[in-house]
Amino acid sequence: MRNIFVCDLSLAAILAAKGVPIRKTDPVTRESRLRDGKWIEQARWWFDVEEGEMLEMAETTMTAYHKAKDWAEYTLDKEDPVYWMKGALENRVALLHLFHHGATPMKIIEDGGRTIIIGPRLSEANKKTLKALL
């Protein structure tokens, strides 16, 4: 049995999806390191890999993933599941970023058959006016 680790959550998710077993004891560790006067946290996801085909598949996947920093450099066949997994996970990160940093929370108030939508930048006077229309 050999322990391998990755620091990229997307790569860890791909390895798990491909059947690489996650280590039973302490499957993830967190490290804090002092770099240039700042504490940097890093996670490591650990896997238990049998020597042989599973180890070879894990190493091939990790190499392909790290080689493909840019879509233009992607070396895998577009039919390879890693290609689509990496794309889906990168899209997930981009969409979550949009949600957390680009989406303005709106309040939706329903009363009977009427609905009002109140944005966070609406003045108090306009909020009162809209609520009165319900």
Query: In the chain, where are the structural domains located?
Result: 2-102, 106-134
CA distance 115 to 134: 7
Between 41 and 82, the more confident residue is 41
- Percent of the chain past pLDDT 70, that is, above it, reads 90
CA distance 84 to 108: 36
Q: What is the pLDDT of residues 91-125, one digit of tens each?
A: 888 888 888 887 778 888 888 888 888 888 888 89
Would you state the structure tokens that stand for residue 134, as one six-digit string? 């319900």
Q: Indicate if the pLDDT at residue 127 is higher than 80.
A: yes
Residue 46's CB: how many other CB atoms inside 10 A?
Answer: 17
Least confident of 26-35, 48-57, 64-73, 92-101: 64-73
Residues with Cβ < 8 Å from 96, sequence gap 6 or more? none
pTM for the predicted model, two decimal places:
0.64
Question: Locate tokens 């959550």: which residue?
Answer: 9
